[in-house]
Structure 1
Amino acid sequence: MFCIVRRETLNPILQMTEEIYNETLIMIEDMCLLIANKVLSCLGMTAPNRHMHDALNHELQREQQYDIEALAETVRTNVPQLNQQQRIAYDTLIEAVNSGSGGIYFLDAPGGTGKTFLISLLLARIRSRNDVALALASSGIAATLLEGGRTAHSALKLPLNMQITETPICNIAKNSAMAKILQVCKLIVWDECTMAHKRSLEALDRTLKDLRDNHNIFGGAMILLSGDFRQTLPVIPDQLLLMN
């Protein structure tokens, strides 16, 4: 686990300190809470001090570790390759980011038409200015296609019992690094959102309103949802697949 901390801070010679040890315990306990809903003290291990100052803040560092010059070159090279519809979407979304007005946008297009390419350029443009853009996806495969991408369940700490929880929220403390990211990010992308349970989006909405102290939808943050309902099969409860 210490190797994970070392890797995420991009410091291969990082030495063990009390803060790092505590951070590692927190990471282990978060996993135990997610898997078994038990804290470390219940498992016979040392409990972390969650009130200790987060000296690493590796989550925030992760979102600010990009090569700005390389990203700017990526934008300069690839924006001219956008087709007309992609360019309209790109300009509209960048203008919305620059205005800081927030809002919800949905990128709808069939598979293979360049949604990931467009999203990657949006992320590169925002990060090239040293701003924070959070890349989420409903599936692990979709997350790997985005620079810095991760699954929504992992990043947002969504509850596992989504179907039976009427008003779910993300398990993100206000003083955590992820809370800071959600407070300052210029854009939150959720790819393959058509695969997500609607309560996952509702959980993010409640969490952003709380963290940003803003009662507008999604706390006034700018949200880009992307997906293709054409690839989403209908779900019929208690039914079996009929083979003709």
Structure 2
Amino acid sequence: MARLEGGRKDCNNGFFLDAPGGTGKSFVLNIILDRVRSTGKIALAVASSGIAATVLHGGRTAHNMFKIPLMEYNEVRSCGIKKNSEMARLLRMTSVIVWNEAVMANRNTIAALDITLRDILEVNRFMGGIVFVCAGDFRQILPVIRGGGKNDELEYCIKSSYFWDDLIKLELTENVRLKANDHENRKFAKKN
């Protein structure tokens, strides 16, 4: 929020929220989206899968929202958004992009968005200077690489991207889902 409200152009504008299941990642992302939108600014919500997109307020899949082409895992292209389109106009007014389950995305998919935003916004900064908050859990699904193995998944995950070191890493660690159900879990364990 400080990046959005302060408007500092000399700071990193990318964040990665590392959050295991049950720690409140979707809640935090929705709070960010709602807060930004409550100030009249534009916040776009995307996810790597349709299921993950449904838990974000106004969420869509990244491929659908940004017209990301289907690419071979080792290919990098820009998105199918023309500079004079309505989508380009919307992107020029966007303050923040939230991308849930980013660990499922091939690093080149996120790079395609970066290339596109730099071009459309004519700003040579990560994501064209738009604040970018991505989140995920590395204990879950990494990118699926056809015919590939563990090494390929690691090579094409977000941690192997050119922008990973520049993302500000944040963590959620307390499993609020388990804590909320602790009494019921203990009762169930005693029965069985």
Same fold (TM over 0.5): yes
Partner of 2:52: 142
1:1-244, aligned counterparts within 5 Å? 94-101=1-8, 103-163=13-73, 165=75, 167-232=76-141, 238=147
Q: Spell out, residue by residue over 1:108-155, the C-alpha distance to the aligned partner (whole angstroms, 9 max, x if none).
A: 111010010011111111111111000000000110111110000001
User: Counterparts of 1:223 and 1:233 in 2: how far apart (Å)?
Assistant: 20
How many angstroms does 1:220 deviate by? 1.2
Amino acid of the structure 2 residue aligned with 1:159: P
Please list every run of at least 4 consecutive aligned residues from structure 1 whose deviation after the TM superposition is greater than 4 angstroms: 233-237
Q: Spell out, residue by residue over 1:202-235, the C-alpha distance to the aligned partner (whole angstroms, 9 max, x if none).
A: 1011101001101112211110010000112586
User: Counterparts of 2:107 and 2:78 in 1: how far apart (Å)?
Assistant: 12
Give SS of 1:107's match: strand
Measured at CA, do residues 121 and 169 of structure 1 come closer, stay the same or move farther in structure 2, by a change above 3 Å? same
How many angstroms does 1:236 deviate by? 7.3
Amino acid of the structure 2 residue aligned with 1:95: A
Amino acid of the structure 2 residue aligned with 1:120: N
More helix by proportion, 1 or 2?
A: 1
Give SS of 2:132's match: strand
**TM-score for both structures, normalised by structure 1:** 0.56
Give SS of 2:87's match: helix
User: Counterparts of 1:193 and 1:145 in 2: how far apart (Å)?
Assistant: 14
How many angstroms does 1:238 deviate by? 3.5
User: Counterparts of 1:225 and 1:156 in 2: how far apart (Å)?
Assistant: 15
More strand by proportion, 1 or 2?
A: 2
Contact 2:46 2:53 survives alignment (8 Å): yes
Amino acid of the structure 2 residue aligned with 1:125: R
Amino acid of the structure 2 residue aligned with 1:131: K
Q: Structure 1 regions of 5+ residues with no counterpart? A: 1-93
Q: Which has the higher contact order (CA 8 A, sep 6+)?
A: 2
**TM-score for both structures, normalised by structure 2:** 0.71
